[in-house]
Amino acid sequence: MQIAILLYDGVTALDAIGPYDVLKLMPAADVRLVTADAGEIATDGPLKLVAGETIESVPRPDIVVVPGGPGALAASRDERVLRWLCGAHDHTQFTTSVCWGSELLGTAGLLRGVRATSHWLVRDELAGHGATAVDERVVVSGRIITSAGVSAGIDMALRLAALSAGAEVAERIALTLEYAPEPPLAGAGSPRTAAPELVAGLRAGYARSRS
C-alpha cells in the first residue's frame, strides 16, 4: 500500500510525523514523503525534513496525507500541488488531512459538500470551500478523512489504519506506540474547556497574522 505524505515549506512537523509513525507500521506500508521539488523542507520551526520524491513521481498513491502548518496557505496556491491532489484523489482509497492541511483539500475542490474539520482557529473557514465544518477531532466522510489540530493527526492515522487494515492492526500499532494519552493540563487542549483568556489571546494573534 503506497502512502504519500505531502510536505511543503512551513509545514508543522508533528502533523506529518505523527501520521508517519502510525502508518509506517501498517502491513506492507510503502510510505513516501513527497513535495513539489524533492529535497530539504523547512518546517515551521528549526527542524528540517527531507522529501525524497516529487509529487509527480508518486501519481497514484493509495493514501494521501496532507499535514497542516502556517505554510499551508502558500502551498494551496501552488498549481502543481493542487493538480497532483486532484489527480491522486481520483485513485486513492483515502485522502486525508491534519489541521490546516484541510486548506489544500478545500482549495483543490475536494471538500465540496463534505463534512470536515480542522484546527479550531480556522475550522469556520472550511465553509468557504463548500464544506460543512464540524467540531470533531476526526471526521470520516467517505474517502475523505479530516482531523483537527496537530496532535489529532495521530488519532486520524489510527482511525485510518483501522479502516484500511482492520481494528486489530490499529490496536497493535497503538500498543506499539504506547498511545495512551494522559494530558497533563486538564482542559487546556480544547477551546471548549480552556481558559477564555487563552482562547481569546490565540484568536487575536491569529487575526493579526492574517491582517
- Host H or E run for residue 86: helix 79-89
CA distance 1 to 199: 40
CA distance 43 to 7: 9
How many CB atoms neighbour CB 178 within 10 A?
Answer: 6
Active site residue 86: no
**Is 119 buried (19+), middle (13-18) or exposed (0-12) by CB count in 10 A?**
buried
Nearest to 99, CA basis, from 44, 62, 57, 39? 44
The full length of the chain comes to 211
Nearest to 81, CA basis, from 50, 111, 108, 103? 108
Q: Which of 36, 51, 99, 148 is catalytic?
A: 99
The residues carrying an active-site annotation are 99
